[in-house]
Amino acid sequence: MSGPDVMFPEEQKLIASVCQRLHRDSNAKAVLLIGRDGQPIAEAGEVGEIDVTSLSSLTAGNVAATGGISKILREKDFTSQFHEGEKTHVHITLVAGRAILVVLFDERSSLGLVRLRVRKATEEMARIFEQVTRKAASQTGPSILNEITDADIDKLFND
Amino acid sequence: MSFINYSSREINCKLVYYGPGLGGKTTNLQFIYARTSPEAKGKMISLATETERTLFFDFLPLSLGEIRGFKTRFHLYTVPGQVFYDASRKLILKGVDGVVFVADSQNERMEANIESLENLRLNLTEQGYNLDKLPYIIQYNKRDLPNAAPLDELRQLLNPAHATEFEACATTGVGVFETLKAIAKSVLTELRRGGGGGG
């Protein structure tokens, strides 16, 4: 294992601002960024009534299943997906093989506009993830993992 | 793969319940869901067929408390046990941090147990993991049934490496939380150690 995926506060802010800009520029209802294993990373827009945890897990499962289909068809990853609903549509894109960008939109926007804005946003996010990778590799300061003791873990499971 | 967010101060880990069809993987998650306080759990999702057989996965997000100011969040998944859903099982094992093998103690399910365990080992290897190095717990479920095989026989066939094991009856909850605690603890210990089963 190459170690856990990480996200640092500085890059989290950058990612959040890209999500907010994408939300605004694409007239989307909401934008979500999800880790490849289904953990929510960032969000923007009207997410109040959405079960973000469930949506993230199901989206990651969906992307994994689509990746499985692409392998069977000997196709490189399907980098984006579009689900058309009656009122809400969903655009899903892979970001640098590390994360999944989900845009929820309605009649206020269009697939063309979302695609256009997503392209720019994913490029920016890919650069931020490269920065995270470099930082994680050179991390010399105390990591939470180094600070955890056996007693901490035991305490978590005391009834 | 675990995910540590220093911004929201969260540690996220992925646990997968594996095992033969109708062995009690979903029942484990259902019991955990029923007995966990609302603030510690998210919605349980079951992608199942009309006959309530797992089609893709069950999913249950749990918060187990804080370590050094970091929230620990565990995402529990089950795989579909039926043999022909192997492609789905492989997908669900991606990024796994710990595995619980739910064995069916009934005599007539011994072959299915062995086949599923071999399938687990093979699918993990394909993902670059080694079952012997990954946090791993074995649960002998359905111990309450009259046709349950003796424990020694189960151990000999399914647990030659002496992984941590629990007897269970998932429908009544016996052994369910013991299993969960043991795998969660093992995952956190492994994460701290900085190792992993490969991948």
pLDDT at residue number A13: 97
Please name every residue paired with A103 in a beta bridge, in sequence order, or none if there are none.
Answer: A31, A91
Q: What is the mean pLDDT of residues A126-134?
A: 95
ipTM of the modeled complex = 0.85
pLDDT band at A153; cut points 50, 70, 90: confident
pLDDT at residue number B45: 92
pLDDT at residue number A159: 59
Asked if B68 lies within 8 A of A152 by C-beta distance, the reply is: yes
HSE, CB side, 13 Å, CA atoms: give it for residue B185: 18
pLDDT at residue number B197: 47
Q: What is the mean pLDDT of residues A118-146?
A: 88
Helix (H, G, I), strand (E, B) or coil at B131: coil
Structure tokens, A140: 């010399």
B/e letters for B162-190, b = 16+ CB within 10 Å, e = fewer, are ebbbbbbbbeebbbbbbbbbbbbbbbbeb
Q: Give B11's contacts (C-beta < 8 A, 6+ positions apart).
A: A144, B2, B3, B4, B67, B70, B71, B72, B73, B188, B191
Q: Which residue has the tokens 């003791």?
A: A149
Identify the burial level of B82 via C-beta atoms within 10 angstroms of its C-beta, where 0-12 means exposed, 13-18 middle and 19 or more buried.
middle
CA-nearest of B100, B134, B141, B129 to B117 is: B100
Q: Give the best residue of B43, B59, B63, B164 to mutate against chain A (max A CB count within 10 A).
A: B59
Q: Give B19's contacts (C-beta < 8 A, 6+ positions apart).
A: B25, B81, B101, B102, B103, B104, B113, B116, B141
In this complex, the residue of A9, A53, A54 whose CB is nearest that of residue B6 is A9
In this complex, the residue of B1, B66, B184 whose CB is nearest that of residue A1 is B1
Q: Which residue has the tokens 């999702």?
A: B45
Predicted confidence (pLDDT) at residue A2 exceeds the cutoff of 80:
no
Question: What separation in angstroms does the CA of B130 have from each of A59, B103, B124, B165?
Answer: 27, 19, 6, 18
**With a cut of 70, which residues of chain B have pLDDT below it?**
195-199
pLDDT at residue number A145: 81
Residues of chain A found within 8 Å of residue B189, distances taken between Cβ atoms: 150, 153
Give the tens place of pLDDT for each residue, A5-55.
899 999 999 999 999 999 999 999 999 999 988 999 999 999 998 999 999
pLDDT at residue number B8: 92
Q: Give B27's contacts (C-beta < 8 A, 6+ positions apart).
A: B141, B170, B171
Q: Where are the alpha helices (DSSP H) in chain B?
A: 25-34, 86-93, 110-126, 151-158, 176-193
Whole-model pTM: value is 0.91
pLDDT at residue number A1: 43
Residues of chain A found within 8 Å of residue B12, distances taken between Cβ atoms: 35, 37, 39
Q: Are B158 and B113 in contact (CB under 8 A)?
A: yes
Instruction: Average the pLDDT over each of A67-76, A84-93, B116-125 and give the range with the smallest value.
Output: A67-76
Rounded CA gap, A9 and B75, in Å? 23
